[in-house]
Amino acid sequence: MFRHSWSLLLFITSSILLVFAACPGRSLGQDKPDASPAAKARAEALQLLQDKKWKEAIAAYEAIVKDSPKSGQSWFRLAYATHMSGDYQKAKDAHKKAAEFPAFRGPSLYNLTCAYARLGDKDAAFTTFNRALAAGFLNKPLMVKDDDLDSLHDDPRWQKSLASLDERVNLYGVFDFWVGEWDVFDLKGKQVGSSKVERLEGGHLIFENWTGAQGGTGKSMNFVDPIDKRWKQVWVAQNGWVIHYDGEFKDGAMRFEGSSLQKNGSKEFSRCTFTPMSEGRVRQVIERSRDGKTWNTLFDGTYVPKKTDDGQ
């Protein structure tokens, strides 16, 4: 059944990376080498998943989350094993728990949609489907082929949901690559800050919380203006400095241009570019200009995903 396609086993060199719930590019990672009993239990549970021994895997992960209730990855794998066993009622609760962890929210909500569909609860399925879209799960090729969702196809809401998906992918979803919790490093590899970037208000607002290594803070609101269909960013620093940006996703990056008013009343121009990179990283370059012609680089940093509770 095509449902099995949303558990992709990717073998990269000697490391095994499991990608459950069909989220291309979202790897649940590999368990780091560790000789502790807990690490051994995780390795054994992972092997049970690979062998598709669902009953045994469920028991193994139930024991793991009992000891490590804050392990989002383990909750996600428990939900996956339970779903694959065919116990959708029980899987539903596990998917809900996994969705509480930001790193797993999108795919977990999608899997919860699948569970509701299998249980025949179409209203809950469509509601959760829209929540999954808002959380950034935008894999349309999977959604239209996944047999978990077959029961939804004859409902008028299905085409509306796909249309909403297309809109989000084409406009609202282009900046989702910046959503996450990050450590930020300069070109020399020195950590210069950390940032938590959240998707709020039904996915229509991307909210940044920046903390500099020296203690400075700042926040930005990023959203699509419904009038001109362009991205806007409003940055507010701890000292009250405000920059207004206007931008779009173009040539593989989110590109903003804006300006700010200085204390002496002069206007300063800014450019801010976010470029998705390999391994889930993001590069941000901020440039400044007094005349809009000569530009100087103020900041060049790489956002690296923070490690999960599993140390990954």
Per-residue pLDDT tens for 16-28? 223 333 332 223 4
Domains in the chain, number: 2
Sign of torsion, CA 46 61 116 169?
A: negative
Residue 188 included in any domain: yes
CA distances from 59 to 52, 62, 67, 78, 299 (A): 13, 5, 13, 9, 49
Domain membership flag for residue 163: yes
Q: Are residues 180 and 159 in the same domain?
A: no
CATH number at residue 198: 2.40.128.20
pLDDT of residue 134: 78
Phi, psi dihedrals of residue 99, rounded to the nearest 5°: -70, -10
149-166 pLDDT per residue, tens: 999 999 999 999 999 888
pLDDT category of residue 35 using cuts at 50, 70 and 90: low
Tell me, yes or no, whether 109 lies in a domain: yes
Residue that finishes a domain, picked among 170, 188, 211: 170
Specify whether 163 is located in the same domain as 15.
yes
Backbone angles phi, psi at 79, to 5 degrees: -60, -40
- Pair 310, 43: CB distance under 8 Å: no
Q: Are residues 111 and 164 in the same domain?
A: yes
User: Does 312 map to a domain?
Assistant: no
Instruction: Identify whether 311 is part of a domain.
Output: no
Residue 175 pLDDT > 70, yes or no?
yes
Parallel, antiparallel, or unpaired for β 242-250 and 205-212? unpaired
What's the CA gap between 143 and 109, in Å, rounded? Answer: 13
Residue 125 lies in a domain: yes
Indicate whether 310 belongs to any domain: no
What is the span of the domain harbouring residue 103? 2-170
Per-residue pLDDT reduced to its tens digit, 229-279: 899 999 999 988 899 999 999 999 999 999 998 878 889 999 999 999 998
Residue 31 DSSP code: P
Per residue in 265-301, pLDDT (tens digit) is: 889 999 999 999 998 999 999 999 999 899 999 999 9
Distance CA 254, CA 256 (A): 7
Q: Which is more confident, 64 or 135?
A: 64
Question: How confident is the model over 52-87, as pLDDT tens digits?
Answer: 999 999 999 999 999 999 999 999 999 999 999 999
- Whether residue 17 is found in the same domain as residue 158: yes
Please provide the average confidence, as pLDDT, over all residues in the chain: 86
Q: Tell me, yes or no, whether 166 and 231 share the same domain.
A: no
Alpha-carbon span 163 to 275, nearest angstrom: 27
Residue 93 is inside which H or E element, if any?
helix 88-98
* 132, 74: one domain: yes
Is the full-model pTM beyond 0.85?
no
pLDDT for position 308: 57
Asked whether the CA dihedral 83, 87, 88, 93 is positive or negative, the reply is negative
